[in-house]
Structure 1
């Protein structure tokens, strides 16, 4: 199993950051069958082979994900795509 751990700065208000994270989660839900739920300021997401969360803090997002065996082989590509989306959405 592989682990992804990304800290990404942002300058959005808490409400705008939450909305942006939810929009990304909605796309993941539609595209990959991810299921997500909010607990406070943390969005938890899961599907077969992936379990993770995105924690919102003032000025920073913290993304962690545990990848199962099959997805571990694609860790580099997955992490690169996460970083691309974060840069696109959060500058």
Structure 2
């Protein structure tokens, strides 16, 4: 399981827009479907599922990978963490 916590100082609408950017990138690269349920963005397909939860001052992503995607966990974690840093904590 991949677990990434990214602090942010964004207003709720801006945080949701940032989360959507991360989800859109994941959806394109891994062919995932995404759906909001309140402040939780759920995404997945066969072999990959997860959530991106928006909290007051942080975004928390959990990704569960099936056997076939498990070998790519370090690369996936690195890419997702980098994208989250860029959109939630812009310099």
Q: TM-score, normalised by structure 2?
A: 0.90
**Which residues of 2 match residues 1-91 of structure 1 at below 5 A?**
3-91=1-89
Structure 1: gaps (5+ residues)? none
RMSD: 1.1
Is the contact between residue 8 and residue 59 of structure 2 (CA under 8 Å) also seen in structure 1?
Answer: yes
Larger CA deviation: 76-85 vs 28-37: 28-37
Larger CA deviation: 6-15 vs 24-33: 24-33
Q: Deviations over 1:1-49 (max 9, x none)?
A: xx01111101101110101111222233234321011111000000121
Q: TM-score, normalised by structure 1?
A: 0.90
- Runs of 4 or more above 2 Å deviation: 26-32
SS at match of 1:58: coil
**CA shift in 2, pair 1:43/1:90, >3 Å:** same
SS at match of 1:18: helix
- Give the number of equivalent residue pairs: 89
CA–CA separation in structure 2 for the residues paired with 1:45 and 1:72: 17
